[in-house]
Amino acid sequence: MTHLRPLVFSLALLGCGASSSPAAPPAATDASSDASSDATADAGLRAMVRGQRYCEVLAGSVSGANVALDVYNTFGLNDCPDAAWRALTVAALRAELGVPVVVLNGPRYWLIDAFEAGMVLDPAVRTIGGIAMRVAGRVEVPLAVATAGNSPYADRTIRRDSTVRFSAGSRVYELVDNASHVYVMQSYTVQREAQTEATLAELGARLTLPTGWRFRTRVLDADVRIVAEGGMATVTTDDLGNTYQRSLQTP
């Protein structure tokens, strides 16, 4: 299994919230009122995202030239209890879930304000390593992409049907590359070092940016929506593993 080691951070980048394809719907039951209640609750969650702490376990296997993983997410169930999360190991989760590939992604904190499309939460709750989670989607990418390693500031193009909103009055944290593409931070992580949203304002001084790139932060005077055009999203990370998605804004 040593050839799977480079998957860890590149697939963690691809997970980050909802993914390429929605989870399969649960089997039909007579509990229509419960399903309606769950849908209403999830709609509320998707509209109040910013600042929420979450973790993900990506679990699946390599099939031919692709890696396919279910994305289990704590969002809306708990705030990823620290002691329980720290106790998880890849080896134990492989045995528990019966899969050869497991990636731990988190803890992370959302910086988007709302999911307007693409965040599909399976109502079925599963306990993984003692933590309640549910499937938020499925990642399927070519093996060559998944094993490319964790190169910060490298574009990854993935299939994802999503629209996220950053609301007017919110502060955003952005990378602008040497071709004037704007990438907006969607979540920050405390996997590598302690961070809070308050520390992100000074992030530019701590990053080793490519030549011609710059970091900026600003307060929006109008809503910004980032749409996965044609079902494809371009994402990247910085040195610390914070994740960004490219938008259609101009600098």
Residues 88-146 pLDDT 10s: 999 999 999 999 999 999 999 999 999 887 666 788 999 999 999 999 888 777 787 77
Give the pLDDT confidence score for residue 78 in this predicted structure. Answer: 95
Confidence of residue 231 (pLDDT cuts 50, 70, 90): confident
Contacts of 196 (CB under 8 A, 6+ apart): none
SS (H, E, C) the chain: CHHHCCHHHHHHHHHCCCCCECCCCCCCCCCHHHHHHHHHHHHHHHHCCCCCEEEEEEEEEEECCEEEEEEEECCCCCCCCHHHHHCCCHHHHHHHHCCCEEEEEEEEEECCCEEEECCCCCCCCEEECCEEEEEEEEEEEEHHHHCCCCCCCCCEEEECCCEEEECCCCEEEEEECCCCCEEEEEEEECCCCCCCHHHHHHHHHCCCCCCCCEEEEEECCCCEEEECHHHEEEEEECCCCCEEEECCCCC
Query: Residue range 233-249: average pLDDT?
Result: 91
Q: Tell whether the model's pLDDT for residue 23 goes beyond 60.
A: no
pLDDT > 90 in the chain, percent: 55
Render pLDDT for 39-89 as a digit per residue (tens, 0 to 9): 444 555 666 899 999 999 999 999 888 888 898 999 989 999 999 999 999
Give the pLDDT confidence score for residue 120 in this predicted structure. Answer: 65
Contacts of 84 (CB under 8 A, 6+ apart): 129, 130, 131
Render pLDDT for 153-177 as a digit per residue (tens, 0 to 9): 988 877 777 789 999 999 999 999 9
Give the pLDDT confidence score for residue 16 in this predicted structure. Answer: 58
Q: Which residues pair with 101 in a beta bridge?
A: 60
